[in-house]
Structure 1
Amino acid sequence: MLIRFLITTLFLLYGSALATAQNVDPGKLQLTWEVKKINYQGKSQTLAVLAITNHDRVALPASGWTLYFNSSKTHAAVSGEVQMEALNGDLNRIVPTSRFTGLPPGKSHQIEYVASGKAMNYKDAPTGFYLVWDVVPSKGLAIPDPVQKPLAAANHDGHITPAIIFERNKSIKDIPAENLPPIFPTPVTYQKGEGSFIVDASTSLQTDPLFKQEANLLAKELESMLGARLRVGAGTKDKAIVLKQVPGLGPEAYQLQVTPERVVISASAPAGAFYGIQSFKSLLPPTAWATNQENYTITAVAVSDAPRFGYRAFMLDVARNFQTKQQVLKVLDLMALYKLNVLHFHLNDDEGWRLEIPGLPELTAVGAKRAHTLSSKQHLQPSHGSGPDTTNAFGSGYYSQADFIEILQYATARHIQVIPEIETPGHARAAIKAMDARYEKYMRAGKKAEAAKYLLRDLQDQSVYRSVQRWNDNVLNVALPSSYAFIEKVVSEIAFMYQQADAPLSNIHMGGDEVPAGVWEKSPAVLALQSQNPQIKSTDDLWTYYFGKVNNILKAKGLYMSGWEEVALQKTKVNGKTRYVTNPALAKENVHAYVWNIVWGWGSEDRAYKLANAGYKTILAPATNFYFDMAYQKDFDEIGTYWATFSDLEASFSFVPFDYYKTARTPEGKAIEKSAFAGKERLTEAGKANIVGLQCLLWTETIRSTGRLEYMLLPKMLGFAERAWAKDPAWATATQPVAADPAYKEAWSQFVNVLGKRELPRLNSYAGGFQYRIPSAGAVVENGQVKVNCQLPGFVIRYTTDGAEPTATSPLYQGPINTKGTVQLKVFNSAGRSGNTTTIVNR
């Protein structure tokens, strides 16, 4: 009887707690985040405050709950009311201690804490908050992200100012539109002609049979502009656009001749005809994609053109935060317009597996979803602010086979090769957890052999490690035959999808970066492998073993292997310290190495040139210039990361592929002295032949909307497109410092004029329109006047002096402002959209 009474009592207490907890609405807990002190206590750390305000009518209890959030920082609460604990990856939690007395309705509680590193912008704010009640531990309840307070002036640590921006913009000239190169990226040669050609419904489109696909794409696009489809067929004497096959041009070369009577695009191969069409589109008015018109006038011109590099790539990470098929197709349209020809598709990482693989449903059932969990058995844990539910569109999602085949076909029609990436052996947590789920499923069914078939970890491994992104379980075991069975299975299924899409597949990127120290050291499977292979003396030697086997898997399928720079390196001891050196084993295997780590001051600035000189086919993908997830500038209001640098539009434009030391800059934008590169290896003539191309990249840890993706991508991608396609400019080979070179300043002025007056206005409506970044205004006070400038000629600046935010109807800046007091400024594009506000005080 007593036992029954106790059970009943406990049940009632449990039910009462549950009812109370459910009456507290986490959505009414408002969070505010504020940086109190950068360089706190003279160290690289930040003192910050997370304030919780209870807007509900029910108190947040003193205990019985946990608050989870995502942050790449480590945290330590200053006071004793709560504990802040790092879990795995970027998942953290806040747990109340016995000193926390609850949070009554209408009250606030401040959690003061110390975070690792300096907080430089809003990226450093914790995100993805959700509450879990102890009585319902499997359910997470979302809380809105914190309101982020501005950074106090006293905390500025070299942050950019309006005066710095003004100084950077001073050399930019306003060049009349008619004096700008008519085509972008800049062609090898062009000459303006006499008169113009009018495109209207009477224009015919004539094509050689080889270029029929390209002609149909052009006809469809012109139909959307004119409201009438052009006649497509063989040659006539009518006013026409002609696609003509001629011998002797390179596979991507073309010639474009525009006269008042006709447009002739000559090429030897379909890719050349396609790029000639893109240049023809470049001649159309920027507004041509906004509304239908009866006709469009284009200037007569003669162009001869070919790309500098045959490999012009963009890498899109969809693992950290997902992007829909529709957004990928839109990005492909953008790439095609600016003549990029490779999409490097980063399809898996620790935080997600994004491609359906037949026979391995767990990869997407488990690995493509993120939600509250501490076991990652049904789905992965929240990352990068994805929140507690699998319904988050950027945390969860994948491409079905049909989706992927459609993407491949869409890209192929636009002469873009898609290179899939299977990130291994590190950055593989999504795959590992998915194959764990598969293992448990078959073990429950009593099928032990099938369970172990694709297992990616040694179940007896006691190794302890922590990756750069703070994961402790994200590296597959390279000693297991099942790991290679998994790779072969995935490679085979991907190759079959390419066959179904009739899309080219020459190589697969196998990742290979950031495997942490400590991995595999206490794995029985690895120890057994070492005992059988005397050449494997330590876990460092497993690197060559692993990629040798993976390379053989790909070779057997007629593919070559590509990967991050580490695939071409091996660890060795130099003066007792571990160092990376070039691994000669794969240099003759056509392995392509993507080099990202030339970060100034890190010691590996010459790595790309070392690998190219040693015979590796090398793709330049430097974090300093082409990582578009880097924040544009050191401004607290900017989004993006900054671990490598702050990377603005000029960073991509100014890159010199064969001598990138020449334009090396500090994160603050100052030129680095040549003496800093004394002793660094230079690119040899033979090495130049091994630089096969350039790649820009967008990692998506901070990308949680399509608008944010486009903001980080543009206009930086246009600087990259110019460097990848156009010939080496004169300033790149000049002996004097580039920043002081009049030829550089002239080229920079020309470039930003082209963007401001033609290309960015085009992108207001092209492919549905892009939410590109609009720069902040530069401003100074001189002689009692506010002087203002802008990086992009063609854009306008509007201002207010009454404390209100400038709008599209605010006064237009046309000369120095004499009004005293606070002046607020914004740059606007032709569509009326603006950038961040610049504030300056005229005393």
Structure 2
Amino acid sequence: MAAHTALPRLDPKQLSVTWQVVNNEYVYENKQMALTELVIANKGTDALPAGGWKIYFNAAGDFVPDATSGNATIEQVNGDLYSITPNANFKAIQPGESGRIEYITKATVVNFTDAIEGPYLVWDAEPAKGYSIGNFVVKPFTPNYIGLVTPEVLYNQNKTIIDIPAEKLTKIIPTPVSYTETGGSFRLQPDVNVVTTHEAYKKEAAGFDAYLKKLFGKRTANKASNNTITLSYKAGLGQEGYELTVKPGAITIAASNNAGVYYGLQSLKILIPPSAVASAPAYAEIPGVNVADAPRFGYRAVMLDVARNFQSKQQVLKLLELMSVYKLNTLHFHLTDDEGWRIELPSLPELTNVASKRGHTLDSKNFLPAGHGSGPDFSNPAGTGHYSKADYIEILKYATERHITVMPEIEAPGHARGAIKAMANRYARLMAAGDKVGAERYLLYSAGDKSDYRSVQYWNDNVMDVALPSTYNYIETVVGDLINIYKEAGAPLPTIHFGGDEVPAGVWEKSPAYLALKKTHPEVKNTGDLWYYFYGRVNDILKKRNIKLAGWEEMALRKTKIDGQDAYVPNPQFANEGMRVDVWNNVLGGGQEDLAYKLANGGFQTVLTCVTNLYFDMANNKSFDEPGYYWGAFLGIDKFYSFIPYDYFKNADVDKNGLPVNRNIFIGKQRLTDYGKTNIVGLQGALWTETVKTPERMDYMIFPKLIALGERAWAQDPAWTTEKDPAKAAAMYNEEWSKFLNVLGKRELPRIAYYNNGYNFRIPKPGVILQDGKYAANVQFPGMVIRYTTDGTEPTASSPVYSSPVSATGAVKFRAFDVKGRGGNVADGVNNAPVM
């Protein structure tokens, strides 16, 4: 259709787009898919023309080409960006009317994050400008699929949880190595005297003083006070170990170093009753205890992706604060990816000038395209944003004060589209200025490279050319700037993470630089050899600066053949280089269930970042109202808590679809050897943020799972993990699981509702079952309040409190609330049995 020469009169803000499921059991080419549709409603006074426009949107799923209602075409632009173009069958939408475009997705719809995101309109007459539409709605959908988690399923899961009186709970979490309540208590008051008998611990004492001032609203330290907290040195307690004694009038914390005394103080803070955190009290009673403690793993990490969707400095500081409370000591900071570059580097300003911004662009020359629903302009803080050098230094100082190391991740060679486009912008600018040498210094792609590939996220131009010398100039410069920033902050930089994941087949094959490199480097016989060439050089760059190299699992693998089939084995070239690898891929049924154990047995320092148990961004369960992806697993807090690092096969119970796992998948898989155990350096929870657009959603996905991560990374191996009798192991597990849930519901969630201005943690949906004409309800966290309504409205913080089964007359709804009156997802009182 010919482009219009003048812009239509319709204001795009007068359009409303609704996404909805038409048929989730649609059969197309003998496969079950989903028939969905967009409803475009015109609420303006002018018509939406029959043509002369496109709607752009983002989507994680793939579409059947041309399988639409016949009035439009859907095409992929690049990555997760798509366009809809009306054809000759599309009818103009008059004021007050609506039009529909049906299309087929290649998979069924599971939850609301399967919907499209961020639709915006572009007129053909003005192709370089995008216009936000007035409203976008995802219509609620009640699915009917295998494994659906209904309120009845939740009820049956929750009914095994034992309600334990608060006074019988261990009052420190993560669980200490040794914990004894001794009776009596210490009265903590604003005038408490904090004494350090070891000069080096004054910084920790000052930090605790600041906490007390926040807690009480004032601090009146009194050296004559009868109540004293003493921080003292004691040899032999290890890197992060401590001893804590609380008795009337005296608290003593002993440790062998600053980290140990800091964690002793964190345990002391946890002993403070959560009610004291809610409002400035006159005093707080701390129970008498004897504690001896040290971590199980020295590396206890959270990976936060701020490239896909940006999070503010303040939100990062909030995460660091709660990481420190639950004794996690590493922030793996995923700062760069295809969709964004988020840290200012003085030597390469284009990285943030170009790649920290997302909006409507057809060429990515000056900024990146809309991604993950970020829309047509820079106004969306999830799509556009970065940390200035000063911001990043503030983050580093804040983390260092809390004994947290911040490990930056600079993705290479894949997941690098942001950097590639930024350096292309630099090239164009300097070439225009006549500086050819300067222009080519940091170029990351070869002109004339016709290699054809698609990454897992559908990009066709997101891999650096590792055969180019300029790629290594870029890496040297990035590393140099990072070192300088960390030095200025006084923060340690022992490791830099260089990604290495998901480089697709087909890259580099037609690169002029690769073809030239082969002639001068006989060790490079094919594109597979470029992998070892690249990481060998990156490792050398870091070794010169006394920095260790870390990466995702692919960095440590070498491609080979077994019985003529492609296979990957631990790469002996890197095994003794001290590299650390984060292993995520243990998808049950995917064939790589034992990859982490292979690498650990093969000599690599291995961090377990297993998608089956430790991914914050996976949906909590299989329900339409639960956000998050689910390609690897459905992953509630139980998966974090039940993770067995040295034998995660043992209690793997359901597959990625939430169905009982076929244990035959473990036949022939490598088990972890005693030598391999020495190479499991720790655990890491990971938040990828494709579906995380706001601070509230970030809190929802991470908390309270982070507390379970802290428990599993710090606390000693529970007895149920090694019990050989399955029935005994199950009983032991349920007892400890119940204790943990009671600690959460009665102590920790009431605490973090107010701590540090409060966290928007996930409040679980109640379980509901119909019995004898009445609805019974329960909730996963004992101590939480359930409220209900009988008139079909959503329960609020003032609705009646559930205390006994409710008559099943009327439209009954149930909802759980935290101590601040925040409500979770609503459970309808209907007898929704799971589909079998």
- Using structure 1 for the length normalisation, give the TM-score: 0.96
Summarize the alignment of residues 168-567 of structure 1 with structure 2, pairs less than 5 Å apart.
168-207=157-196, 208-231=198-221, 238-567=226-555
Deviation larger for 563-572 or 666-675: 666-675
* Alignment check: 8 A CA contact 1:275 1:339 kept: yes
User: What SS does structure 2 have at the residue aligned with 1:80?
Assistant: coil
Deviation of 1:70 after TM superposition, in Å, equals 0.5
Deviation of 1:674 after TM superposition, in Å, equals 4.1
1:718-774: per-residue Cα shift (whole Å, max 9, x none)?
111110010000101111337961110000100000000010111111111110100
C-alpha separation in 2, matches of 1:651 and 1:842: 27
Q: Highest relative contact order (Cα 8 Å, sep 6+), 1 or 2?
A: 2
User: What SS does structure 2 have at the residue aligned with 1:580?
Assistant: strand
Structure 1 residues 671 and 48, CA, compared in 2 at 3 Å: closer, same or farther? Answer: closer
C-alpha separation in 1, matches of 2:20 and 2:247: 61
User: What SS does structure 1 have at the residue aligned with 2:830?
Assistant: strand
TM-align CA RMSD: 1.7
Structure 1 residues 693 and 141, CA, compared in 2 at 3 Å: closer, same or farther? Answer: same
The answer to whether structure 1 residue 99 and structure 2 residue 85 are counterparts is no
C-alpha separation in 1, matches of 2:418 and 2:824: 37
C-alpha separation in 2, matches of 1:842 and 1:713: 31
* Alignment check: 8 A CA contact 1:819 1:842 kept: no
1:664-683: per-residue Cα shift (whole Å, max 9, x none)?
13235555354331111010
Between the two proteins, the alignment pairs up a number of residues equal to 825
Structure 2 match to 1:748 = 737
Structure 1 match to 2:23 = 37
The answer to whether structure 1 residue 163 and structure 2 residue 152 are counterparts is yes
The answer to whether structure 1 residue 149 and structure 2 residue 139 are counterparts is yes
Structure 2 match to 1:774 = 763
The answer to whether structure 1 residue 593 and structure 2 residue 585 are counterparts is no
Summarize the alignment of residues 695-774 of structure 1 with structure 2, pairs less than 5 Å apart.
695-737=684-726, 741-774=730-763
Deviation larger for 542-551 or 424-433: 542-551
Deviation of 1:656 after TM superposition, in Å, equals 0.2
User: What SS does structure 1 have at the residue aligned with 2:756?
Assistant: helix
Structure 1 residues 435 and 506, CA, compared in 2 at 3 Å: closer, same or farther? Answer: same
Structure 1 match to 2:618 = 630
Deviation larger for 662-671 or 812-821: 662-671
1:340-379: per-residue Cα shift (whole Å, max 9, x none)?
0000000000000011111211100001100100100110
User: Could you tell me which amino acid in structure 1 is paired with residue 109 of structure 2?
Assistant: A
* Alignment check: 8 A CA contact 2:303 2:687 kept: yes
Structure 1 residues 202 and 760, CA, compared in 2 at 3 Å: closer, same or farther? Answer: same
1:616-670: per-residue Cα shift (whole Å, max 9, x none)?
0000000111111000000001111111011001010000000000121323555
Structure 2 match to 1:133 = 123
Deviation larger for 677-686 or 806-815: 806-815
C-alpha separation in 2, matches of 1:212 and 1:462: 61
C-alpha separation in 1, matches of 2:792 and 2:398: 49
User: What SS does structure 2 have at the residue aligned with 1:40?
Assistant: strand
* Alignment check: 8 A CA contact 1:612 1:690 kept: yes
User: What SS does structure 1 have at the residue aligned with 2:183?
Assistant: strand
Deviation larger for 810-819 or 66-75: 810-819
Unaligned runs of 5+ in 2: none
Structure 2 match to 1:7 = none
C-alpha separation in 2, matches of 1:137 and 1:334: 46
Deviation of 1:44 after TM superposition, in Å, equals 4.5
C-alpha separation in 1, matches of 2:441 and 2:24: 51
The answer to whether structure 1 residue 118 and structure 2 residue 104 are counterparts is no
1:682-705: per-residue Cα shift (whole Å, max 9, x none)?
101111000000000100001111
* Alignment check: 8 A CA contact 2:43 2:95 kept: yes
User: Could you tell me which amino acid in structure 2 is paired with residue 678 of structure 1?
Assistant: I
Structure 1 residues 400 and 232, CA, compared in 2 at 3 Å: closer, same or farther? Answer: farther
The answer to whether structure 1 residue 804 and structure 2 residue 790 are counterparts is no
The answer to whether structure 1 residue 820 and structure 2 residue 806 are counterparts is no
C-alpha separation in 2, matches of 1:576 and 1:738: 43
User: What SS does structure 1 have at the residue aligned with 2:210?
Assistant: helix
C-alpha separation in 2, matches of 1:452 and 1:305: 55
* Alignment check: 8 A CA contact 2:313 2:391 kept: yes
User: What SS does structure 2 have at the residue aligned with 1:660?
Assistant: coil
Unaligned runs of 5+ in 1: 1-9
Structure with the largest fraction of helix: 1
* Alignment check: 8 A CA contact 1:77 1:111 kept: no
User: What SS does structure 1 have at the residue aligned with 2:398?
Assistant: helix
User: Could you tell me which amino acid in structure 2 is paired with residue 85 of structure 1?
Assistant: E
- Of 783, 794, 809, which aligns to 2:783? 794
C-alpha separation in 2, matches of 1:671 and 1:333: 38
C-alpha separation in 1, matches of 2:222 and 2:559: 60
User: Could you tell me which amino acid in structure 2 is paired with residue 136 of structure 1?
Assistant: E
User: Could you tell me which amino acid in structure 1 is paired with residue 458 of structure 2?
Assistant: R
Structure 1 residues 842 and 124, CA, compared in 2 at 3 Å: closer, same or farther? Answer: closer
* Alignment check: 8 A CA contact 1:820 1:842 kept: no
Structure 1 residues 216 and 598, CA, compared in 2 at 3 Å: closer, same or farther? Answer: same
Deviation of 1:813 after TM superposition, in Å, equals 1.4
1:103-145: per-residue Cα shift (whole Å, max 9, x none)?
1001111111001222110111111111111122221111256
C-alpha separation in 2, matches of 1:610 and 1:94: 46
Structure 2 match to 1:833 = 822
User: Could you tell me which amino acid in structure 1 is paired with residue 588 of structure 2?
Assistant: W
1:230-283: per-residue Cα shift (whole Å, max 9, x none)?
4388xx774211111111111100011000111111111000010001100001
Structure 1 residues 668 and 252, CA, compared in 2 at 3 Å: closer, same or farther? Answer: same
Deviation of 1:398 after TM superposition, in Å, equals 0.8
Deviation larger for 706-715 or 193-202: 193-202
User: Could you tell me which amino acid in structure 2 is paired with residue 614 of structure 1?
Assistant: G
Structure 2 match to 1:6 = none
User: Could you tell me which amino acid in structure 1 is paired with residue 506 of structure 2?
Assistant: G
User: Could you tell me which amino acid in structure 1 is paired with residue 329 of structure 2?
Assistant: N
C-alpha separation in 1, matches of 2:459 and 2:32: 22
Deviation larger for 266-275 or 668-677: 668-677
Deviation larger for 604-613 or 667-676: 667-676
User: What SS does structure 2 have at the residue aligned with 1:210?
Assistant: helix
C-alpha separation in 1, matches of 2:286 and 2:743: 16
Deviation larger for 74-83 or 125-134: 74-83
Structure 1 residues 531 and 46, CA, compared in 2 at 3 Å: closer, same or farther? Answer: same
Structure 1 residues 487 and 803, CA, compared in 2 at 3 Å: closer, same or farther? Answer: same
Deviation of 1:591 after TM superposition, in Å, equals 0.6
1:188-207: per-residue Cα shift (whole Å, max 9, x none)?
01110121111112311111
C-alpha separation in 2, matches of 1:582 and 1:379: 38
* Alignment check: 8 A CA contact 2:347 2:481 kept: no
User: Could you tell me which amino acid in structure 1 is paired with residue 200 of structure 2?
Assistant: L
* Alignment check: 8 A CA contact 2:445 2:464 kept: yes
User: Could you tell me which amino acid in structure 1 is paired with residue 69 of structure 2?
Assistant: S
